[in-house]
Amino acid sequence: MRPLRIRLVNFGPYKDQTIDFEDFNEAPLFLISGKTGSGKTTIFDAMCFALFGRSSGGDRNPEEMRSDFADESEETVVTFIFEHQGKQYVITRKPKQILAKKRGSGTTEQAASVDLTVTDHDGKEHSWTKRGDVDRKLFDLLHLTPAQFTQIVLLPQGQFRQFLEANSNDKQALLADLFGTDLYNRWASNLNDQLKTMRQAAKDQSTQLATYAKMIKWQEDTEVPADDAPATDVLTMLNTQNEAMQPELTRRQQANESASKTLSHLTTQVKTEENLSSVFDQRDQAKQAFEQLMAQSSEMADLTAQIKQLEWVQKTVPLQTKLVEAQELETTTAKKLAATTPELATARQQLAAATATMKELETQKSVETNRQSEITRLKQVRPLFETVATLAKQQQAQQDKLTQARAEVAKYADKVTANQQLTAHLEGQLQQLADLDAQQLTLKDQQHTLKNLQNVQTELGQQQTVLSQRQQRMSELRQQLATQTVEQGTVTKRYEQLDHDWTVGQIQRLSAKLQDGEPCPVCGSTEHPHIAVAIVTKVTEDELKTADQQRQQINKQVASVSGQLDELIAAQQTARSTFEDRQRNWINDVHQLLDLTDDSTAMTPAETTDSLQKFAQQLMIQQQQLTQQLTIRGEAQEQLTETKSQLQAVMTQNAEAEEVVQQVQTHLTTITTQLADRRHDLPVQFADLTELDTHLQRLDQLSQAYLAAVTDGQQQHDKAQQLVTQLATQVSGLQQSQDEQHEGAIVAQQKFDHELVIHDAQMTNSKFTKQAQELPQLDDKRKQHQAYLDNKNRVHAQMDTLAKQLDGQDRPHVDETIKLRDGQAQKQAATQQAFFSYQQVLQNNEDVATKMKTLLDDSHDAQQQLAEMAELADTATGKSDLHLSLERYILQTYLQKVLEVANVRLAVLTNKRYQFRLETSTGSRATDTGLEINVFDDQAGKIRSVHTLSGGESFIAALSLALALGEVIQNEAGGISIEALFVDEGFGSLDEEALQMAMEALQTIEGKNRMIGIISHVTELQEQIPDQLQVVSLANGQSRIKYQHEL
């Protein structure tokens, strides 16, 4: 993959800039230079955003990359064009952003979008616009995650040096992400989770066994095991006790069964005697009830006679009822006949009066005929009166309308004058506010410049803090170095003394064993006239080794602190220089903004800050004043537009009103002429339509009254005639019914009297009526008599049945038998309780024994599996003595490949002095085991820690390692070719020779087929590299791109 061009629109500090990487096709190495914060790294951020939708470091959201100066109507867009395997790819990506609505006012949120277009070898284009499709297409193309792409293409500020010096844990975090070994970590975590589960299960089993042990009920004569006794011993003792309890359980069971049998026999006997005693009680009760029934015999005989008499009365009542009904009907008919006869006489009188009225109305018929003729004639004249009345109303309406129209003309004329005056006033006011747009543009530019300067001021404050912190750290390192240097001298002196004493001791030991004629190990002489006197001081080899280790350790610490201090000093000098340059530029920009004279350039940063704050307050006041004036102008403009529109409308309305006046005047003249003509044709006896209608109404009322009288008279005559006929027929019928009902009453009286005499000669009508009133009691008396007979028969039958059941037996003594049964029940309850409690204890213990045996059997297998799982999990997670997890073991293989590739470049860059070595020994902790990197120093002939390298050496080593890491990642990703590399800073710590070597190394990467860009502001690089992509900061917070190919 080779970048061609990238266009940034409202992205970071870039308004609309296109970076053409093809401009450096002939340059194997070029420099991306510019001030700190100008936007050098933003170019690579844009590249990563276009490909993956995120920044290079992944620490900023895409929405945050939108330029602060971007207008609400302008989109943020990044278009990246690159070439891969002969095809050209164009990807355009937009972040989620807030933009102005295309229609109306306000803003709307625009969702993130992406578009990928591929041009193949034949020139055909293929496009994808869905984010998921684009991401999959790019991954299939590059086979790289965002982190891998960043590691290959961009060597970020300080991160590759941090990786070199990081411990194994930190290296693992980065390498796992780059090489995708998280699978092994997840597998190890799963094993560890399974181990925790198994350990908890084993713990739960132990807890359950302890719970079961507490559930055991030991006998008083049994030895109870100790609380910490093994579960197997507890189970053995429990089984022994359970076997010993079986005979006692059998004895208690037999005693309980014997007591239960005796109790059952006594219970049956009590029940039998209670039943027999109950029969004797029932017999006595029956005898008593029968005697009471026999005492009621005479009373029941009277009741029987009463029932018979009431039954005869009940049979005879219908004859009495029929007699009463006949008599009542005869009386009712007589009353109706007496009332109807007078009504018939009155009706005949009303008929005669109605006949006389109808004759009188017949004489008035000719007058009504004349009245109807007059009404017809006057109604034919009425339309002429209506026409005159209508014309008179129209004349008055037109006169009123003419008056109103003339008033409207006067009103619109006044409005025209008022609107013309207001229009002239508003146009004058707008003329005075015509230069506000220019003022607003100038103020907006000043505000934008002010905001950029304030941002720079904030960044300078942050840089000042970093400088102070670094200076404090340098002081701490100097003090630490001084202390360690003193300690180094002490330790070195002690080691040298011990080494000298140990050497002397060896010489003395060898000298003591010399034989005559043997050469001296010190001087070589074969004669020994003066043998050396032995020195008392003895030094062991272990003491010497310990002192040597202490000496090496303090040397290593001193070298590390010294290297850190040198690196900090170099970084502080660079940072201080950058800070001072940027502060001077900031002060100059502030002076330019404030339009200060040359004499004011001596102002301090604090005075400049104060001046900038005052200027910000002035801009705020100016903005408020300008906003008020713009509001006034906008309101005046709107009012002028509205006033002109109203003036045009009013003038139109005025013309229309004048036209209406003319039309109304013409119409009024026409109506007046027509009204005069119609009035000439009216009859003279009526002044107007109202007088005519009054006369017609009076005639109509007289006619209606006559017609109503005729109709009412005819109705009264017909009604009287109908009533006379009806009443005459009714009187005739009533007289005939009266005669028939009288004969029927006589026959009913004879039948009733005959029935009374036959039953009882002394029975009278009043006695019969009194007895008839007692008929409601007949049913109760019958029920009472029948209940007596039923009870007598039932009691007699019960006495016979009970006599057969007793069969001559004597009454039993139940109370004595009950006492015997209750005594036996107490004995049986005691034996049963003894048996059940003993049985329950044994059953509980047997259940506990079964559960404990099952749990112990399962526990044995679980413990074996737990041991195997613990060994496997500890090995996979690195908790063994080797402190090496499975994932770290895999990453160790990858890192070894990286070191082999890195050693090729490191040998060239260091003249074969240094070679990377992977530490294979086991550290004291997992933090320093598995991924530790050392260097072999060919000049010293030994392996050293990377922490002992100087600042320049560390950069060379880290650069070689980072380049190698990128190459290995490309190989692991399927041999993908990334023909671009950007190195972000790190050159400030190199001396001139190391800097030249680093540049040569970068130029040799992949020959001339790989584009190398160095992102730096180091002056030496700007003076040595002719091909440069310069990022120039502008005063308004924007940056632009400039190309350079010659020094």
Mean pLDDT of the chain: 81
pLDDT in tens, 412-443: 788 888 888 888 887 887 777 777 777 877 88
Instruction: Flag whether pLDDT at 222 surpasses 70.
Output: yes
CA distance 885 to 930: 9
Please give the share of the chain, as a percent, with pLDDT higher than 70. Answer: 90
Q: Is this model's pTM higher than 0.85 or not?
A: no
Do 978 and 1 meet the contact criterion of CB atoms below 8 Å apart?
yes
Mean pLDDT of 542-553: 86
Mean pLDDT of 997-1021: 68
Instruction: Give me the pLDDT at residue 157, please.
Output: 47
Instruction: Give me the pLDDT at residue 1026, please.
Output: 86
Mean pLDDT of 17-43: 85
pLDDT in tens, 31-61: 888 888 888 888 888 998 999 888 766 667 7
Task: Return the closest-CA partner of residue 672 out of 415, 399, 910, 451.
Answer: 399
Mean pLDDT of 443-460: 84
CA distance 949 to 915: 12
Mean pLDDT of 203-214: 80
| Nearest 10 degrees: Cα torsion 682, 683, 688, 689 | -90
Q: Please report which confidence band the pLDDT of residue 519 belongs to, taking 50, 70 and 90 as the band edges.
A: low
Handedness of CA 300, 306, 307, 309 (dihedral sign): positive
Instruction: Flag whether pLDDT at 599 surpasses 60.
Output: no
Q: What is the per-residue DSSP string for 678-732?
A: HHTTS-SS-SSHHHHHHHHHHHHHHHHHHHHHHHHHHHHHHHHHHHHHHHHHHHH
pLDDT in tens, 789-807: 888 888 888 888 888 888 8
Instruction: Flag whether pLDDT at 770 surpasses 90.
Output: no
Instruction: Give me the pLDDT at residue 815, please.
Output: 86
- 571 CB contacts (<8 Å, ≥6 apart)? 470, 988, 989
CA distance 337 to 735: 7
Mean pLDDT of 373-381: 79
- Start-to-end C-alpha separation, the chain: 30
- For the ranges 590-604, 749-763, 840-854, the lowest mean pLDDT is seen at 590-604
Instruction: Flag whether pLDDT at 499 surpasses 90.
Output: no
Instruction: Give me the pLDDT at residue 528, please.
Output: 60
Instruction: Flag whether pLDDT at 926 surpasses 50.
Output: yes
pLDDT in tens, 289-340: 888 888 888 888 888 888 888 888 888 888 778 878 887 887 888 888 888 8
> Reduced to 3 states, what is the DSSP secondary structure of residue 920?
coil
- 581 CB contacts (<8 Å, ≥6 apart)? 35
- For the ranges 382-396, 869-883, 932-946, the lowest mean pLDDT is seen at 869-883
Instruction: Flag whether pLDDT at 1008 surpasses 50.
Output: no
pLDDT in tens, 65-89: 898 888 888 999 999 999 887 889 9
Instruction: Give me the pLDDT at residue 10, please.
Output: 93
Amino acid type, 339: A
Do 675 and 392 meet the contact criterion of CB atoms below 8 Å apart?
yes
Q: What angle do CA 171, 174, 177 make, to 5 degrees?
A: 140
Q: Please report which confidence band the pLDDT of residue 1007 belongs to, taking 50, 70 and 90 as the band edges.
A: very low
CA distance 984 to 1017: 10
CA distance 604 to 626: 32
> Rounded to whole angstroms, what are the CA distances from 152 to 32, 146, 156, 787?
18, 10, 10, 120
Q: What angle do CA 736, 742, 743 make, to 5 degrees?
A: 100
Q: What angle do CA 585, 591, 595 make, to 5 degrees?
A: 145
Do 83 and 89 meet the contact criterion of CB atoms below 8 Å apart?
yes
Task: Return the closest-CA partner of residue 316 out of 771, 876, 4.
Answer: 771
Please give the share of the chain, as a percent, with pLDDT higher than 90. Answer: 6
Q: Please report which confidence band the pLDDT of residue 627 belongs to, taking 50, 70 and 90 as the band edges.
A: confident
3-state SS, one letter per residue, for 955-1012:
HHHHHHHHHHHHHHHHHHCCCCCCCEEEEECCHHHCCHHHHHHHHHHHHCCCCCCCEE
| Nearest 10 degrees: Cα torsion 187, 189, 195, 198 | -90
Q: What is the fold, at CATH topology level, of the domain defined by 1-143+979-1047?
A: Rossmann fold (3.40.50)
Query: What residue ranges do the domains of the chain occupy?
Result: 1-143+979-1047, 298-363+691-746+763-776
Do 862 and 198 meet the contact criterion of CB atoms below 8 Å apart?
yes
